[in-house]
Structure 1
Amino acid sequence: MPRFSVIVPAFRVQAYLHACLDSVLDQSFKDYEIIVVDDCSPDACGPIADEYARRDPRVTALHLPRNSGLGPARNAGMERATGDYLIFLDGDDTLLPEALRTIADRLGATGDPDVLMYDYARTYWSGRSVRNVLAHRLDEAGPASFRLADRPELLQLLMVVWNKAYRRAFVEAEGFAFPPGYYEDTPWTYPVLMSAGSIAVLDAVCVSYRQRRRGNILSTTSEKHFDIFDQYDRVFAFVDARPELSVWRPVLFRRMLDHFCAVYASRDRLPHPSRAAFFRRATASCRRYRTPGAPAPRRARLRHGLMRLGARRTYRALAASRRIGDGARRGAAALRRAVRGAALQAHYRIQLRLPLRPRDAVFAAHGGGGYACGPAAIEAKARELVPGLRTMWICRPVDAHTVPTATRRLTPGTFAYWSALARSAYLVNNVGFDRRLVKRRGQILLQTHRGTPLRTVGTDLLDRPAAAGRTDFEQLLRDVDKWDFALSANPHTTLVRERAYPSAYTTLEYGSPRNDVYHRTGPADVARLRETLGIPAGTTALLHAPEHRDYRRVQRPALDLERLIRVLGPRFVILDRAPRGRGGGGSRTRTVTTHPRIIDVTGHPSLETLALASDALLTDYSSLMFDYVNLDRPVILHLDDIEAYEAARGTYFDITAFPPGVVARSQDELFDIFATDHWRGSRSAQLRAAFRARFCPYDDGNAAERVVRRVFLGERDGLPLPVPPSARRAVVPAQHHQAGARVARG
């Protein structure tokens, strides 16, 4: 008996069926069967199903004698199913990689509930993927499994069949089956959820829900959409037959009204001559099943009331006035934005004609984020060394608390912001300023970058479209031409960036200012940082910081952290930090863990703090590894997808040939490295020392001072010489490791 029976109805989806079936067969979890139900499709769906059945014994091709519709096709698949759980997947949708593994793990962790609900992302023809906007309803906090009465808000999710796994024994015991019709999911989903003795949720995207430009039956203009009334008749008949479910009538009534309004409002579902008849049928259903008691927003209450009263003309007038009002509000808002934008630019042009302020300096990091990275280290040292310097930091209001009180905060897009950009003598950033910035004669722009490049950057991305995204390379070069100075941590960085960012700026190979803190922080400070992060005393903290994957539109975790923490044992905690996407924020789609020894630090503003508080780093392609070796603490690389990463993004050298620590090419190999303690053995120390010698020749705690003296004070001679590596002081970890200690096996 397989764990899963994946039922795939197929009708006129020949262009998508290969991808659908491949998405299942490529899963790392292999305990499943696939039942492809050819609903007498006039295209090649049947032969495609037969082809897959010949190639793989787990695939069964079932051919129906006549076209019956989605519901009966699913019923036919259920009759042949033998798995513990039923999973329905439409023939034009796909499972995400590791979806079945994630679902299986969650089922095991929640005691095999009757129903497991998981998330999906809408995928458009352009390749854009958008996660369900109600994903927060799948929060895994609280009991592992529950009844619907404990979390009725789950009924607000899209009532479809394919975002759930159903225990087959439960389905058979209750006698659930799909009716024919367009809206066959409705009389299945509501009864299943109301009847389930146990429900669990999984906060992870498992299904890619394809949004077809044409061909989706729900976007087809037809009177078949009147089927929605028959389907809700079935739902209420089910409830009426079970008096214990009568408490759900108000909620069902509210959801039915919402559904009727949505269908009626859609311009591409109902033929125009049929709209009046649809409204009359909706009114009749409302009167028949009216059960008040479920709260609704004010606008929805008005629509519901008009539909219940049959006031179609008033309903139409209300909808028209709302469209006009919404359009007017949007127009007014656009006009206000345009007027303000023009005023800001006029203000900026005036400011550009005023004298520079020679003691003003503007700093920013990560596109307007908080006080961080190289610019923060330089700003602090500049305030210390440069007499009379007035510093300003560009950041969003939400990050203002991270900026020192002695530094003025600038909100992007304000008059003060444009004044500062126009008149400050010094501009410092680790990415780029607004593209409309006019570089004035006498202004000095310092580009600090973000660490040592392992991954391909700048114009080297020209032939890597997956990684380049929508990069405007002409604009990039215009921005580079504004640089006066660019920082470099080592000779490797200098050679790479002068080629990837070609222009006439001066490279300052002075080390990385953001790493100064690693050489100036004492054990007592580290202990305090660990305490603020909630790291228990006496434990070993592993910082998990993977990199963003350019070749994936939906980010997913490559590592089972809950399994890893079991391998590590009770004396370990994991600080889990999601990767930054192109937008600068954590963009990973993942299962939210409630494990007490896995601490989510994705939103923490300071990567340096996380590094200082940890005892070892687990990463893949992140430039953090170049900084972290300054701490002389173990680095472990998990490179299970290096071929795909190299093909999509590319790297400047083979990290497996010259790594900062031990390398694992698979999850099992990584677990073995931890279980045998190789992660912090003598070989790890040797690799780390060689890596540090090559990439940290100037990281001695004085990089920011060298930069400030050169850029702000104009000193060329007498800059602090790099401290020899043998004389540098490494921060002592708060958790001392005993030689020969072994990781407890979980």
Structure 2
Amino acid sequence: MPRFSVIVPAYRVQAYLHQCLESVLSQSFTDLELIAVDDRSPDACGAIVDEFAARDPRVRAVHLPANRGLGPARNAGAAEARGDYLIYLDGDDTLAPGALRAIADRLAATGEPEVLVHGFARTDWTGEAVRDEVRAPLAEDGQDPFPLADRPELLRVLMVAWNKVYRRDFVAREGLAFPAGYYEDTPWTYPVLLTARSIATLDRVCVHYRQRPGSILATADRRHLDVLDQYDRLFAFLDRRPELESWRPVLYRRMLDHLGTVGTRPGRLPRASRAEFRRRTRAHCRRHRAPGARPAWRTRLRHALVRLGLHGTFRALLRATALGRRAAGAAASALRGLRAALLQAHYRLQLCLPVRADRAVFAAYWGRGYGCGPGALEAAFREFAPQVRTAWIARPEHQGTVPAGVRRLTPGTAAYWTALARSKYLVNNVNFDRRLVKRRGQILVQTQHGTPLKHMGLDLQERPAAARGMDFPQLLRNTAKWDYVLSGNRHTTLTWERVYPGRYTTLEYGSPRNDVFQRATSVDVARLRASLGVPEDAVALLYAPTHRDHRRTQRPALDLERLLERLDPRFVVLARAHYTHAGPLADPAGAQGRIIDVGGHPSVEELCLASDALITDYSSIMFDYANLDRPIVLLTEDWEAYEAARGVYFDVRDHPPGAVARSADELADILAGGHWRGSRSARSRAAFRERFCPYDDGRAAERVVRHVVLGQRGEAAGLPPVVPPGRRHPVPSRAASAQARSRLATVPQPAGPQTVTESR
């Protein structure tokens, strides 16, 4: 008897059915049966179902003799089910990777509840997935299941069949079944929640709900009147179950909300059916009215209009509200324009005042917060040039990352424009506001943010997918303002000077943001791992993929849960999305908590220190991570597509910093077999470090400050000499330290007290 019976009705979804069925069969949790019900579909759905049944013994095909509709098709599938739990999935939707594993784990943790409610995401025609906005009721509070009375807010979660999992014996005991009709979910989901003795929740996206043209909700049809019949069935169910009578006022209000949506949403009801809908709505409200707790006045007004059938008045009220919002938005826009004009006048006035030689202003990543090269330089300013007062530009939500004692500036304020106009030193890893006027006496330091593997600057002129409307004349105007550009190696120097042409001076002193790798201690590593929740004996893999210009959505190429299933339980993944990507790379609840989402962590350097190895693709993080002399594995399965869309300066597969995997399976083999930290990988890493990390000895920021602020040129003038890569001792990873201690324990030690000092 399988754990899950996944029931998929199919009618006119031939274009989506392959993807739907594959999403079930490719799940990492395999104890399932897939019951595909061909609802006498006139297209190829029946043939597709038979194809999958012939290919995989877990698939059973059910062909109905006549088209019955979604509800009866689900019932036909349930009649064939043998699993402990029933899962309903529409033929144009998909299960999220790892969904069944997460569901199985949650069911086991909560004592086999009768119903489990989980999250979902709406996926539109662009492929973008947006999490359902009603998430609070899904909070996973403890391991104890509960009845609906303990968490009635679950009724605000979308009332559909496919965002829940049902114990089969519970469905049989209560005699629950789907009716025919358009709105078959209504008299199914409410009785399910009302009668379940134990409910659990899972705050994770398990289903991707496809929003497509031509769907039922996007089609004007008089069959939307079916919603009224379905609520008749729901209240008839309550009539048969007097012990549930206390829920009648709640369901009555839910009905008013639902009928208001159907009656006012454009494209639902044909014009010829609206009068009938209003008339029947008034009758329904009189017949099922159940006064209860008084909601807010706006809700009472809306419900009153629905009860009276005044849907036109309701729509007019909605339009008036929207018009008021637009008017308020126009007024706010005018005020913003006036404020911007006043700020520019203030800036022009400040430009007439003297430049302050004891002021420096810093920023990184368009105001995202303290860090990267500018962060390292700001700290070096305070250490080696304390006479210069520093300020940091950050958006309000990121100002908490700025160290104490550093002045905080909010972009677009008068103080911000004053600092830009009068500070002698301007430091950034991107560009300042294009309206910045570079004054005589000001010094602008461009730190950049990494060694370039992909095409940058003017080289993007032939890469429209990557350039995406880049203003190349503005790029040249920006580079004309630069006085110094920092570089960590000769490859970077030659690239920057060609793709960002200007009269600046290149300082080939190393990357200041990498100084921390030579300065950190084992105590720092232990503290960082503890703050991230990395278990003491874990092997932490930092997964940090780059941005794909050729993709509309940035879905992760690597299924982290599937990868971890093939690895030793000690492995955990620190999942770090590219800073341009919103949202996590994987569900943190996946793989029994072995995936830690670190996308919101402010410092990528700290994540590098906390990890034992790096998994990346074409991200410049590999050049920084090489300074730690820790294992690096590259996943290059889409190299050709990336190279064609973005362009690269060399084939990193020919000169890698470690092992190279050309597929996810090969990556798993490299990690499971230990090749990721073998001698061949170490030799590749050493050659890579010699080529791309010649100056990153921990004192790059000091050299920049001594050169730019203190005027020191060369070692004779006070610049510290560069320590070659072979003589550096970066802090070892936690796993490497533990391995070294283990080897030491097996070696006979000399008599007497012995002290072991960990190298930095």
Q: TM-score band, normalised by the shorter chain?
A: 0.7 to 0.9
Report the TM-score, using the length of structure 1 for normalisation.
0.84
User: Where do 1:395-434 residues align within 5 Å?
Assistant: 395-434=394-433
Give the structure 1 partner of residue 161 of structure 2.
Answer: 161
Which amino acid letter does the alignment assign opposite residue 580 of structure 1? H
Give the structure 2 partner of residue 133 of structure 1.
Answer: 133
Q: 1:706: how far off?
A: 1.8
SS at match of 1:510: coil
- Summarize the Cα distance change of 1:51–1:610 in structure 2 as closer, same or farther, 3 Å threshold: closer
CA RMSD of aligned residues (A): 4.1
> Which string of whole-angstrom CA distances, capped at 9 and with x for unpartnered residues, describes residues 336-381 of structure 1?
2333334334444554565544443321112212211110111121
Q: 1:566: how far off?
A: 9.0
Give the structure 1 partner of residue 601 of structure 2.
Answer: 604
- Summarize the Cα distance change of 1:389–1:136 in structure 2 as closer, same or farther, 3 Å threshold: same
User: Where do 1:728-743 residues align within 5 Å?
Assistant: 728-731=728-731, 736-739=737-740, 741=742
Choose from 540, 558, 576 the match for 1:542.
540
Give the structure 2 partner of residue 231 of structure 1.
Answer: 230
Give the structure 2 partner of residue 269 of structure 1.
Answer: 268
- Output the CA distance in 1 between the equivalents of 2:412 and 2:160: 43
> After the TM superposition, which of the residue ranges 141-150 and 731-740 deviates more from structure 2?
731-740
SS at match of 1:376: helix
- Summarize the Cα distance change of 1:109–1:624 in structure 2 as closer, same or farther, 3 Å threshold: farther
Q: 1:513: how far off?
A: 0.4
Give the structure 2 partner of residue 207 of structure 1.
Answer: 207
Give the structure 2 partner of residue 176 of structure 1.
Answer: 176
- Output the CA distance in 2 between the equivalents of 1:312 and 1:112: 44
1:627 aligns with 2:638: no
Q: 1:511: how far off?
A: 0.8
Which amino acid letter does the alignment assign opposite residue 706 of structure 1? R
Give the structure 2 partner of residue 709 of structure 1.
Answer: 706
Give the structure 2 partner of residue 699 of structure 1.
Answer: 696
Give the structure 1 partner of residue 392 of structure 2.
Answer: 393
- Asked if the contact 2:635–2:660 (Cα under 8 Å) also holds between the matched residues in 1, the reply is yes
SS at match of 2:261: helix
- Output the CA distance in 2 between the equivalents of 1:741 and 1:677: 17
Q: 1:115: how far off?
A: 3.4
Give the structure 1 partner of residue 119 of structure 2.
Answer: 119
Which amino acid letter does the alignment assign opposite residue 265 of structure 1? T
Which amino acid letter does the alignment assign opposite residue 185 of structure 2? D
- Output the CA distance in 1 between the equivalents of 2:557 and 2:31: 21
- Summarize the Cα distance change of 1:250–1:388 in structure 2 as closer, same or farther, 3 Å threshold: same
Which amino acid letter does the alignment assign opposite residue 739 of structure 1? A
SS at match of 1:90: coil
- Summarize the Cα distance change of 1:164–1:383 in structure 2 as closer, same or farther, 3 Å threshold: same
Which amino acid letter does the alignment assign opposite residue 577 of structure 2? P
User: Where do 1:526-675 residues align within 5 Å?
Assistant: 539=537, 542=540, 544-548=542-546, 550=548, 551=551, 552-555=553-556, 558-560=559-561, 567-569=568-570, 574=572, 576-582=574-580, 586-592=583-589, 601-612=598-609, 614=610, 616-621=612-617, 622-632=619-629, 634-637=630-633, 639=635, 641=637, 646=642, 658-661=655-658
- Summarize the Cα distance change of 1:624–1:142 in structure 2 as closer, same or farther, 3 Å threshold: farther
- Output the CA distance in 2 between the equivalents of 1:676 and 1:229: 62
- Output the CA distance in 1 between the equivalents of 2:517 and 2:97: 38
SS at match of 1:739: helix
> Which string of whole-angstrom CA distances, capped at 9 and with x for unpartnered residues, describes residues 706-740 of structure 1?
22233344544443331233443433667842438
- Summarize the Cα distance change of 1:490–1:169 in structure 2 as closer, same or farther, 3 Å threshold: farther
Which amino acid letter does the alignment assign opposite residue 582 of structure 1? T
Give the structure 2 partner of residue 329 of structure 1.
Answer: 328
- Output the CA distance in 2 between the equivalents of 1:516 and 1:273: 73
Give the structure 1 partner of residue 506 of structure 2.
Answer: 507
SS at match of 1:335: helix
Give the structure 2 partner of residue 361 of structure 1.
Answer: 360
Q: 1:520: how far off?
A: 2.9
- Output the CA distance in 2 between the equivalents of 1:724 and 1:219: 66
What number of residue pairs does the alignment pair up? 734
- Output the CA distance in 2 between the equivalents of 1:461 and 1:136: 44
- Output the CA distance in 1 between the equivalents of 2:479 and 2:99: 42
User: Where do 1:82-161 residues align within 5 Å?
Assistant: 82-104=82-104, 106-107=106-107, 110=110, 112-143=112-143, 145-161=145-161
> After the TM superposition, which of the residue ranges 370-379 and 443-452 deviates more from structure 2?
443-452
- Output the CA distance in 2 between the equivalents of 1:640 and 1:201: 38
Which amino acid letter does the alignment assign opposite residue 122 of structure 1? R
Give the structure 1 partner of residue 375 of structure 2.
Answer: 376
- Output the CA distance in 2 between the equivalents of 1:109 and 1:499: 59
- Summarize the Cα distance change of 1:341–1:10 in structure 2 as closer, same or farther, 3 Å threshold: farther
- Output the CA distance in 1 between the equivalents of 2:210 and 2:497: 43
State the identity %.
Answer: 59
Q: 1:269: how far off?
A: 1.4
Q: 1:170: how far off?
A: 3.6
Query: Which stretches in structure 2 are left out of the alignment for 5+ residues?
Result: 744-760
- Summarize the Cα distance change of 1:458–1:95 in structure 2 as closer, same or farther, 3 Å threshold: farther
- Summarize the Cα distance change of 1:517–1:124 in structure 2 as closer, same or farther, 3 Å threshold: same
Q: 1:466: how far off?
A: 6.8
- Output the CA distance in 2 between the equivalents of 1:44 and 1:599: 42
- Output the CA distance in 2 between the equivalents of 1:650 and 1:110: 50
Which amino acid letter does the alignment assign opposite residue 91 of structure 2? G
- Output the CA distance in 2 between the equivalents of 1:466 and 1:109: 46
User: Where do 1:446-525 residues align within 5 Å?
Assistant: 446-454=445-453, 457-458=456-457, 479-480=478-479, 482-498=481-497, 501=500, 505-523=504-522
1:299 aligns with 2:295: no
Give the structure 2 partner of residue 216 of structure 1.
Answer: 215
Q: 1:515: how far off?
A: 1.6
- Summarize the Cα distance change of 1:542–1:21 in structure 2 as closer, same or farther, 3 Å threshold: closer
Q: 1:160: how far off?
A: 1.7
Which amino acid letter does the alignment assign opposite residue 73 of structure 1? A
> Which string of whole-angstrom CA distances, capped at 9 and with x for unpartnered residues, describes residues 521-572 of structure 1?
4455555556655667x65673534325634544587323995799355xx8
> After the TM superposition, which of the residue ranges 48-57 and 430-439 deviates more from structure 2?
48-57
Give the structure 2 partner of residue 186 of structure 1.
Answer: 186
- Output the CA distance in 2 between the equivalents of 1:180 and 1:501: 66
- Asked if the contact 1:638–1:666 (Cα under 8 Å) also holds between the matched residues in 2, the reply is no
> Which string of whole-angstrom CA distances, capped at 9 and with x for unpartnered residues, describes residues 614-662 of structure 1?
3623432354443334344x33537385658856767655556655455
- Output the CA distance in 1 between the equivalents of 2:188 and 2:701: 64
- Summarize the Cα distance change of 1:281–1:413 in structure 2 as closer, same or farther, 3 Å threshold: farther
Which amino acid letter does the alignment assign opposite residue 402 of structure 1? T
> Which string of whole-angstrom CA distances, capped at 9 and with x for unpartnered residues, describes residues 431-475 of structure 1?
333344454555443222223345555566667777666766665
